[in-house]
Amino acid sequence: MQRLIKPEELSFDFKKLNLLWMILMTFLTLGAYIGVWFIKNKNNINNITRKHGIHFGLWTFFTVLSFSFLFISLFGGVVLSDYGEEIINSYETIFNYFFVGLHYYSIFRMKEMMEEYFDMELNIFLLFFFHIFYIQYKINQNQQTHSNSFA
């Protein structure tokens, strides 16, 4: 990957987040919080490099669609027939496969970016199983270790 700016010129606003809060929000939103996390960190990721390959337009689309499916899952029985619910469930299944693909693609691009820019090693097994939680853990750890690396 090619760097856009020198590391000493970087300005970040990565927030130190409580991991339990992230897990709770992900659980309560049935995974939709993952998209919110990527969208909230869009500017920080773009400050590091634009050649990371993370498509934030897709993340916005998938996050809106994810919250729409969540809303339909909760309240669809009131408006939809059984057949309508089954159609929506089949679309949701297809959507979930695309969401997981985008999710892991983006997580491993973040891994490459963080290893290059912050000189840290990320364990691919922990990354695979704990995805954004592991990334946020490493961000929190980096803030504690190198408090002057972040704004």
Query: What's the pLDDT at 4?
Result: 46
In the 8-state DSSP scheme, what is residue 9?
Answer: G
Residue 85 has pLDDT above 70, yes or no: yes
Instruction: Kindly compute the dihedral angle of the four CA atoms of residues 87, 92, 93, 99, in this order, to the nearest 10 degrees.
Output: 160
Instruction: Name the packing angle between helices 124-145 and 33-40 (round to 10°).
Output: 40
> Residue 44, SS3?
helix
**Angle subtended at Cα 32 by Cα 31 and Cα 38, rounded to the nearest 5 degrees:** 105
* 98-118 per-position pLDDT tens digit: 999 999 999 999 898 888 887
Task: Report the amino acid identity of residue 52.
Answer: H
More confident position, 97 or 15 = 97
* 2-40 per-position pLDDT tens digit: 444 444 444 456 788 899 999 999 999 888 899 999 999
Length in residues, the chain: 151
More confident position, 72 or 6 = 72
